[in-house]
Amino acid sequence: MSFLEVCDIEKHFGATQVLKNISFSLEQGSALAIIGSSGSGKTTLLRCLNFLETPDQGRIILNGEVLFDAADPAVRKKKEIRKKRLHFGLVFQSFNLFPQYTALKNVTLAKELLARERPDYKANRKEIHKEIEEQARALLCRMGLEDRMMNYPQQLSGGQQQRVSIARALAIEPDILCFDEPTSALDPELTGEVLKVIRELKNTDSTLIVVTHEMQFARDVSDQVLFMADGVIEEMGTPEQVFGHPKSPKTQAFLQKSTEDLHG
């Protein structure tokens, strides 16, 4: 059994079916790129994995543990979900940093709140906070933001904000880190710095799922590519297969179009 197993996910918004029969698996330490045109269901799929949407059907199994099963009402409980979603981290297209906190506090906040649930919190409060802050500083340094820790989001460029939000997602040590079009809201000259950080994560054996419009990046960084069209997985395979020898006419048309756009 693979690290992540997604089985038969279906999702409707009202009468519209946005995800049909989504099944795929992912090995630990590998990177999955999800590509496809707008409205194909990529983002909804990612949101389902992060419990921001509840699938109508299907199962999500991580490391043998059933995180979600539409047939079992017990796993839908709010409290259960809160713990389970910690397996996944999500980096948003629009960063969604907390504007009232510094970069550092953005990274430490969730971890500090989680630490309150530890039985030894009261006794070791000071040490725990120190440890969390050190970890956050290390993460921000890894993102190349050592001199930006005390800045508020508004004082940072888009690329810097996105790197803070990657650090924030990493702070809770998720098993799988998801990116929802992490560079779509950035000026072209700022996408490089964010993509570089994601590439570096790939080299540290993190398990990644990246929804992206950057075809070259998807090709370089991923071990597996998933092309979605109209809510179904139209094609899936290694980057060589999907980009080099696409089988489905829809994939061919999509790739054709994105290369044309690229070369204007």
Q: Which stretch binds another protein (CB under 8 A): 22-30, 81-89, 213-221, 255-263?
A: 81-89
Q: Which of residues 39-58 bind another protein (CB under 8 A)?
A: 50-52
Q: Compare residues 5 and 53 and give the one whose CB is closer to another protein.
A: 53
Min. distance of Cβ 7 from another protein in angstroms?
22
| Distance (Å, whole) CA 4 – CA 65 | 9
Q: Is 62 in the site for another protein (CB under 8 A)?
A: no
Strand order of the β-sheet with 232-237 is 88-91, 176-180, 207-211, 31-35, 224-229, 232-237
Taking Cα atoms as reference points, which of 223, 247, 224 lies closest to residue 235?
A: 247
Q: What is the per-residue binding string for another protein in 88-127, x denoting contact by CB under 8 A?
A: xxx-x-x-xxxxx--------xx--xx-------------
Nearest to 144 by CA among 115, 103, 90, 184: 103
Of 135 and 258, which CB lies nearer to another protein in the complex structure?
A: 135
Q: Are 209 and 221 in contact (CB under 8 A)?
A: no
- Alpha-carbon distance of 68 to 13, in angstroms, equals 19
> Per-residue x/- mask for another protein, residues 3 to 42, rule CB under 8 A?
----------------------------------------
Question: What does the alpha-carbon distance between residue 236 and residue 128 come to, in Å, rounded to a whole number?
Answer: 44
Stretch that binds another protein, among 146-154, 210-218, 222-230, 237-245 (CB under 8 A): 146-154
**Helices within 57-101 (DSSP H only):** 78-84
Measured from the CB of residue 73, what is the shortest distance to another protein in angstroms?
18
How far is Cα 145 from Cα 142, in angstroms, rounded to an integer?
7
For another protein, the binding residues (CB under 8 A) are: 50-52, 82-83, 85-86, 88-90, 92, 94, 96-100, 109-110, 113-114, 152-154, 165, 168-169, 172
